[in-house]
Amino acid sequence: MSIWEYANPRRFMGWSAPLVPLFSALAALLIALGLVWGFFFTPEDYRMGSTVKIIYIHVPSAMMAINIWVMMLVASLIWLVRRHHVSALAAKAAAPIGVVMTLIALITGAIWGQPMWGTWWAWDPRLTSFLILFLFYLGYMALWAAIEDPDTAADLTGMLCLVGSVFAVLSRYAVNFWNQGLHQGATLSLDAEENISDVFWLPLLVCMAGFGVLFAALVLLRTRTEIRLRRLHVLEARDRTGRKGSGEG
C-alpha cells in the first residue's frame, strides 16, 4: 500500500479522528508543564533577571510561525504536483494557526525588547522579515477567501506560499546573512554549541514540543472541518441542481 492512500479523504477522516483528542491532551500537558517549570522553577538570568522567562512563549511561537509556513509549503507542493485535495485543505487549515503564532511572537518580542533593548520595534533584518511573513499569512488567507473555485484557489495560494517561503527562511536565517542586526542569533541550533544553560533549555524544549503537538491537534481538527465543509458544499450543489431539474420536468 502506498503512503498516498492516507491522503484519501475518507481514510484521512478515519485515522485523524482519534488523534485529535490525544494530541490535544498531550499538548495541554506539555505546555502546562513547560510553562509552570519555566516561569516558577528556573533561576534568573545573569543579565536579564526574570525578564528572560518570556523566552518560554516567544521562542516556541516564533519557531512554530516559521515551521507552519514550511508545513504549508510542503502541503501546497504536494497539491500542486499530485493534486491531493486533503493536502490543499491542510495548508488552508494551517494558515490561521500560523498567523496567531506569528502575532504571539511579535507581541512577546515587543514586550521583551522594550526593557532589554530599549525599544518595542526595530527595523532589524530578522524582525522585518518576520513582519513580512505575518503579512504573507494575512494575504494567503485573503486569497483563499477571494477565489470561489476551490482548485484555482488552491493553485494560486500554493504559488503565493512558495513566494512567502522566502520570508519564512529569512526570518530564521537573516542573522546569518546580515550579521549587523539587533536581534541575537538562534537560541537553539543544530550546528553550533549551545549557549543556553540546561536549566533554561529543558523547560524550553518541553514548551516547544507542546506548541508542536498543539499545532498538530489544531491542524488535524481544522482540516477535518474543511473536508466536512467541502462535502457540505457538494451536497448543497447536488440539491440545487436536482431541484432545478425537477422544476423543468
Partner 1 sequence: MTGLKKVKKKRRVWLIVIVGTMLATATALIGYGLRDGINYFRAPAQVAEDPPPENEVFRIGGLVEEGSLVRGQGETITFRVTDGAASIPVIYTGVLPDLFREGEGMVGTGRLVGGVFRATEILAKHDETYMPKEVIDALKEQGVYVDPGS
- Name residue, grid cell 519555566: 38
Q: Is 72 helix (H, G, I), strand (E, B) or coil?
A: helix
Alpha-carbon distance of 123 to 115, in angstroms, equals: 17
The stretch among 28-36, 138-146, 197-205, 208-216 that binds partner 1 (CB under 8 A) is: 197-205
Q: Which stretch binds partner 1 (CB under 8 A): 19-27, 33-41, 62-70, 156-164?
A: 156-164
Contact 96, 223 (CB under 8 A): no
- 149 forms part of the interface with partner 1 (CB under 8 A): yes
* Segment lying near partner 1 (by CB under 8 A), choices 86-94, 116-124, 206-214, 223-231: 116-124
* Run of H or E residues at 182: none
- In angstroms, the CA 157 to CA 4 distance is 22
Q: How many residues bind partner 1 (CB under 8 A)?
A: 50
DSSP string covering 137-165, please?
A: HHHHHHHHHH--SHHHHHHHHHHHHHHHH
Nearer to partner 1, 112 or 215 (CB): 112
Mark residues 2-41: x for contact with partner 1 by CB under 8 A, - for none: ----------------------------------------
Is 196 a binder of partner 1 (CB under 8 A)?
yes
Position 170 contacts partner 1 (CB under 8 A) = yes
Among 199, 229, 234, 237, binds partner 1 (CB under 8 A): 199
205 lines the binding site for partner 1 (CB under 8 A): no
From 16-24, 86-94, 173-181, 222-230, span contacting partner 1 (CB under 8 A) = 173-181
Nearest to 90 by CA among 77, 108, 101, 103: 77
Which CA distances in Å does 201 have to 52, 66, 192, 197, 242? 12, 20, 15, 6, 61
Q: For residue 48, give the amino acid letter.
A: M
Question: Which positions touch partner 1 (CB under 8 A)?
Answer: 42-49, 51-52, 55, 77, 80-82, 115-119, 122-125, 149, 151-152, 155-156, 159, 162-163, 165-166, 170, 177-182, 184-187, 195-197, 199-200
